[in-house]
Amino acid sequence: MRSARGQVMWWRSLQDLIRRWFLKGGTAEIGWLAGRLGNAGERLAAKHLRSLGLRILFRSYRTPLGEIDLIARDGNTVVFVEVKTRRGTWTGPPADAVDDAKQKQLTRLALSFLKHYQLLNHRARFDVVAIVWPKENVAPQITYYRAAFEARGEGQMFS
């Protein structure tokens, strides 16, 4: 049986091991990985969508119900974009994280947005941008899924 001191030392050793694993060239990537990866992915996705002719209306649109990563306009269509950024694909492709529960949540958020801005008579669609970005100085791989899924759950939208 381990003592409390032994458990604390074991935990600190694990933390040190993780820190050393993320260190490269004397600079820690932990900060970049923790919060900035998702933010950087959203910026990159917005830039990619602009290059395809979409107009970005909102980034990180927050409501009490949740957040929509990007809201764009493609002609007369309102586009709700979920951005998934990962360092690798060992847990599966990033787009797989947009499961049924996430789709239902995005549908509720989108319906709320359309009601709030009186845009219920406009077409709407859900896109997904999946980004694999192994390191900050390595070019990311971007996969864009146009019309990735239909509205899910109660109160579905019409397109």
Q: Average of pLDDT values for 129-146?
A: 90
Q: Average of pLDDT values for 78-96?
A: 90
Does 5 have pLDDT greater than 80? no
CA-CA-CA-CA torsion sign (42, 46, 68, 58): positive
Is 49 within 8 Å of 57 (Cβ atoms)? no
Does 138 have pLDDT greater than 80? yes
Domain boundaries, the chain: 35-149
Q: Give percent of the chain above pLDDT 70.
A: 74
Q: Which CATH number fits domain 35-149: 3.40.1350.10, 1.10.730.10, 3.60.150.10, 2.60.40.3880?
A: 3.40.1350.10
pTM score of the predicted model: 0.75
